[in-house]
Chain A
Amino acid sequence: MTKKNYIYILGCTFIFTLFSCKHSESEYHSITDKIEAESKNYHGTSISSEQFLDGVETIEITEDEHTFLIPERKSQITSYACTECHTKPLNQMQNKEGAKKAHWDIKLAHADLNTMNCITCHNGDDMDNLKSLTGNTIDYNRSYKLCSQCHSKQFEDWKGGAHGKKVAGWAPPRASMTCVNCHNPHKPSFETRWPARFNTQKVKERE
């Protein structure tokens, strides 16, 4: 073996290692690296979901560093404003015994009665607004403020976008459903039901 051969082999090894270290196809080591690197120069896209929000009345809210749209609520409540019927404070409007009550169909299934009843959220003296636990006024359009008093974890996730749904599309502007768009505030949990479909072919295939 001459010195030349040694140098030759050394050179080959060097070149080999040089090329084998670099992954041949992608410039990034992982998808998270790629996302991080490519979003540095993010300039926004021309795609917008604004057109899908046509006909949905929204209001803009800002909670911490998150600013986004939520559907307007008052126009969706059948008989808002409540004062159209509730002309007097509630204690002056008590029904006669035996007559059918106005909101007979509402059965509260939200926490237990030690924790909550109607007046935890509603104010008998101001039926057009909701009230916080400390007695402050909360607008019907911002009812999420009421929910977030107890459901703080869900509130955090909702603000960031991990809980809940978008109104229309993924593209900006962000418009997210608010709590009451999916949950019935008087009975917030989801019910059990049958699945939307059953695949009979799959059963045959697997026989």
Chain B
Amino acid sequence: MSGIGKYFKLNLNSATKQTSGSCGCGSSSGGCGTPKEDTSETSYGCGNTSGGCGSQPQSQTHISDEDFDTAVDAAIGEECKKDGFDQVFDVKMDRRTAFRQLTASLMIGAGAVSSSCSVISDDESKEKAQIDWEEQFKGNYKLMTDQEKKATVDRLVRSYQLRKGKNITMSSKNAEEDVLFGYAFNISKCQGYMDCVSACAEENNQDRNSQMEYIRIHEMKDGKGFKFDEADDNYYHEVPAEGHFYMGTQCFHCDNPPCVEVCPVQATWREEDGLVVVDYDWCVGCRYCMAACPYDGRRFNWSTPEVPENEINKNQHYLGNRMRKKGVVEKCTFCVQRSRAGKNPACVEACPTGARIFGNLLDPDSTIRWVLENKKVFRLKEDLGTEPKFWYFMD
């Protein structure tokens, strides 16, 4: 009761609206019999709540549903609805925080103003500053309207053009209705050629310096089963090696993703078509999601990702392969820039053995559905209840 009580007392400015009729306060320090209007000072400690013992005016002892909603609304409602700039600045805060926020924004503002209003800097740098300013204070992609999504994508494209002088195309295509992406991996077909890993790194503009790879191909001994501790995921010899089999792991796009659950800023979420995506501009780099993922599906940018200009894949998606920055988490998106356009992910296309099958789980005539219904499929760590949409099967 005390937890909820705080809300009421803090925001209605009157402790008397607590509806706990039976006044269980051990040491009521006062107020019984003396109606008090302003009890907010004493109301923080739960043990010595002061109000409410039948002595209050009748009109205040009961609270209607409507009042309750307005109360909650007044307390946290706005924060729920606010986004971007407002979420930071348009909230109640104490003096110290306010000064801190003001100083920070003054610094940013001064920088922006100096470059955008300066008479000596040219139009291009002004535009750059304007874009940076708007990008800095944009909201979470998940909460954006379609126009806002388009606006941020346009800004990013323009920004790239201004900086690198090259044109990229970036999509903000939303999830399509009646689509749920799923993946199947044929363990008996994979030969360990790693063409998928290469294609993935090229398609998704992964950092070449740290040689980031979303996909891992594990070389396992025949007859030992899945023993990841004994498997080798960085072999370099002729494949397939005698007495070994190969299986790949990557982000499994769980339907009940633990990584999404733990994100403190909601920078990662599951889209309607089942893809688990990251807003690289909202990620704070805490890496909780990496700890939460039971499949080692996520990668962290310890340094600014670098890709040679001529190798950059310029067909991009906001949630997919656009350039990341230092200190953010990224992962496989089933090549959202390709899959939402109807293509297969790069790994599926690159696989020379046909071990990788991708498709729409909701389409009863799709090949992925045939595999699920006719082959003996299983998933990794199924008992965790994460519901990965990535099935393994054998011939």
Contact = CB atoms under 8 A, between A and B. Distances in A.
Given A193-B238, A201-B210, A35 B180 contact: yes
B211 A200 contact: yes
12 contacts: A31-B389, A32-B372, A35-B182, A35-B361, A39-B364, A161-B370, A162-B184, A171-B342, A193-B193, A196-B197, A197-B201, A203-B234
A44 interface: yes
Interface stretch (A47-55, A79-87, A119-127): A47-55
Contacts, number: 154
A42 B238 contact: no
A196 B195 contact: yes
A25 B352 CA distance: 40
Contacts of B375: 157, 162
A199 B342 contact: no
Contacts of B343: 49, 52, 168-170
A169 B371 contact: no
Given A193-B239, A201-B210, A162 B362 contact: no
A131 interface: no
Contacts of A47: 176, 179, 340-342
Contacts of B340: 47
Contacts of B194: 195-197
Nearest to A161: B367
A42 B357 contact: no
B315 interface: no
Contacts of B198: 196-197
Contact of A162 (B191, B197, B237, B370): B370
B251 to A, nearest CB: 15
B213 A199 contact: yes
Given A162-B186, A195-B193, 20 more contacts: A30-B387, A31-B387, A32-B372, A34-B255, A39-B361, A45-B177, A45-B178, A52-B343, A153-B395, A160-B367, A161-B367, A161-B371, A162-B184, A195-B194, A196-B193, A197-B198, A198-B236, A199-B213, A199-B234, A202-B233
Contacts of B238: 192-194
Contacts of A38: 178, 180, 362
A160 B371 contact: yes
A200 B393 CA distance: 31
A182 interface: yes
A26 B261 CA distance: 13
Nearest to A170: B359
Majority secondary structure, B binding face: loop
Contact of A194 (B239, B339, B366, B374): B239
Contacts of A43: 178
A31 B361 CA distance: 10
Interface in B54-83: none
Nearest to B209: A201
A30 B182 CA distance: 14
Shortest Cβ-Cβ A-B pairs, 8 listed: A161-B367, A171-B342, A160-B370, A195-B194, A201-B211, A198-B236, A39-B362, A31-B387
A113 B139 CA distance: 69
A163 interface: yes
Contacts of B359: 161, 170
Which of B198, B217, B234, B389 has its CB near the most chain A CB atoms (within 10 A)?
B234
A170 B360 contact: yes
Contacts of A34: 180, 255
Nearest to B210: A201
B247 interface: no
Contacts of A196: 193-195, 197-198
B86 interface: no
B318 interface: no
